[in-house]
Amino acid sequence: MRVLVIYCHPNETSFASKLHQTVLKALRGRGHEVTDLDLYGEGFRPVMSREERQEYEDPARYQQTVEKYASQLSKTEAIVAVYPTWWYGLPAMLKGYFDRVWAPGIAFDIGADGAFETDRLAHIRKLGVVTTYGSPWWLIRLYMGDPERKLWGRAIRKLCGKGCTLDWIVHYNMDNPPPEHLERFRKKTESVFARW
């Protein structure tokens, strides 16, 4: 299977970096063809320029501005995102990736009546998210309503193939985790992707 791994963290010595390497090793160990997209590592520009926004609704012109990333999306069968959740959402760099790359003519089309047409990414059959929260589970799930999981499970997955599955792998309480908890989570992550 062709898998696009999207990694987003500015610090190469972070726990997220360790999880990123764990995911890559597990997927490659299963023989998957992996494209590793390290947004910070390659200096991805998350901010949409004024000119790009003006071209946004002209898919043929706009696609040229993100051609490499559009090509990656068009060829992948699965996506794994590895990142920390900050302020109950995607880090700005990763949010900018979706703002700039998942655009009309790439991730969806807008019909003459203004309705979304969502068959451009029908070839994507699996999603995986590996993320961490500083907060406890009850704050995220019960008080905040789990917004990040809804984003992936409802919005992003809706643009993918019918029956697309989501593996949601999350570690809470990252502010003061015991080392053994981190290693247990890393092994859990490895186990999930070793079964892909």
Q: Distance of CA 174 to CAs 83, 143, 170, Å?
A: 13, 18, 10
DSSP code of 182?
H
Helices 67-75 + 92-101 axis angle, to 10? 80
If you average pLDDT over every residue of the chain, what do you get?
Answer: 94
pLDDT digits (tens, 9 = 90+) for 12-22: 999 999 999 99
CA dist., res. 121 & res. 142, Å (int): 32
Q: Which residues pair with 126 in a beta bridge?
A: 78, 165
CA dist., res. 29 & res. 188, Å (int): 16
Report CA torsion sign: 36, 83, 89, 43: negative
Element (H, E) at 35: strand 33-38
At 136, the pLDDT band (50, 70, 90 cuts) reads confident
pLDDT digits (tens, 9 = 90+) for 48-72: 999 999 898 888 899 999 999 999 9
Whose structure tokens read 């990414």? 121
